[in-house]
Amino acid sequence: MSHILLWYFLRQYGLWFMGFIGVALFAGFLGELAELLRINATGKDFSFALMLRLTSYKMPQLVSDVLPFIFLLATSGFFLRIGESHELLVARLAGLSLWHVLAPLCALAFVVNLFNIGILSSLGSKYFATYWEVRNAAENRPPPQASRVFGLWLYQDRPDGYHIFHARALNLESRRLGKVTIFAFAPDGAWQARWDAPRAAWLSADDDDDADGDAASEGWFWRLEEPTETLISGKEQPATRRDFPIDLAPHKFGQRFPSPLAIGFWELAELIETAEALDLPSQTYRLLWHQFFATTLLLWTMIGLAGFFGIRQAAARRASGGHVLERFALVGGLAIGIMLFFLVDFLQGLGIAGRLPPAMAAWAPPLMTLLLVAAALWQVEDTR
């Protein structure tokens, strides 16, 4: 009997879950389409078919972003339904505890987040990149890989110290750099020399067999054209060219340090490894990696929160003259769930800013809130 009830509840919950996914897709589609229509009214020349296409590219990322809200709303609707029909009361009289009812919902959340990690995040990142490729082409703008980047700074370890590479302009399509400066430092941080050049090329050893020194054997290098070397003494020495080896390939710079929205789960490990090998900040990407897994705890929190207030609502309905606030417990649960989501997002933002370690910023907020919700559920179950 209990297994039949649990499967029945899971089917009912699945209907609510799929229904709210449909609502989220519909609302998100209309919102994104309205935004494109607004942009089109400012002088763009997008066809309606193109706007529909661009809007559809945003949908996988939208579903991934609003999963906690979908579970919160679906669980609230589910408990409202089984509370009004007295099915929850029948289940509890049949010997099912609140934990029995919540367990299959949490199992579903776990499976859904695995799908989100393994498939939906990759689809979202792929179509996010496609969105901007299509939109840039429609607006006759160059793709990001061919755009100019100002203020590029790179760090490169060397056996005799380290180099700091700086370029004011970069075209990744032609691999050309402008207004280049390279600083050489000793292992103790003492400045040794500086090279300035109006132009440079980002080359590989395969591009030129005549690379200087270490650059010929280390893969990639910057070739400064007509550089001027400034020594510690202040003396300047012009030259025809100078090659400096660098670990980072230009295609990795253009493709492996994108917006977090354009990164799928399967790309994160390589991106983090590349960033740390070059001594570049990787907190955002490490936090994103932990967030993928910590989202399961947040989904469980939303389910437990909606379950707690759903039980209170059902109890208030059965009791004659229940307190007014208890009658609107489900509305309170939705409000608290939304506030909780933004609180978790704020605390995780501290991890991006470097105020908290990425693992702590990703796991601590949902874990603490889940424990609080579990304690509240235990209290409700013990006093039934």
Look-up of token digits 């367990």: 103
Give the bridge partners for 237, in sequence order. Answer: 229
- What is the percent of the chain with per-residue pLDDT over 70, rounded to a whole number? 82
* Highest mean pLDDT, choosing among 3-7, 260-264, 291-295: 291-295
Domain boundaries, the chain: 2-140+283-382, 147-247
Average pLDDT score over the chain = 80
Lowest mean pLDDT among 159-168, 213-222, 249-258: 249-258
Asked if residue 366 lies in contact with residue 346, where contact means CB atoms within 8 angstroms, the answer is: no
The tens digit of pLDDT for each residue in 21-76 reads: 999 999 999 999 999 999 888 877 888 999 999 999 999 989 998 999 999 999 98
Give the bridge partners for 77, in sequence order. Answer: none
The DSSP string of 102-165 is HHHHHHHHHHHHHHIIIIIHHHHHHHHHHHHHHHHHHTTPPPGGGS---SEEEEEEETTEEEEE
Cβ neighbors of 73 (< 8 A, separation 6 or more) are 16, 20, 334
**Tokens encoding 36:** 């494109």
Nearest to 112 by CA among 75, 155, 167: 75
pLDDT of residue 106: 94
What is the H or E stretch that residue 177 is in?
strand 176-185
- Whole-model pTM: value is 0.69
Q: Rounded CA gap, 280 and 256, in Å? A: 12
The tens digit of pLDDT for each residue in 164-206 reads: 888 877 776 778 888 899 999 888 888 889 999 999 998 887 7
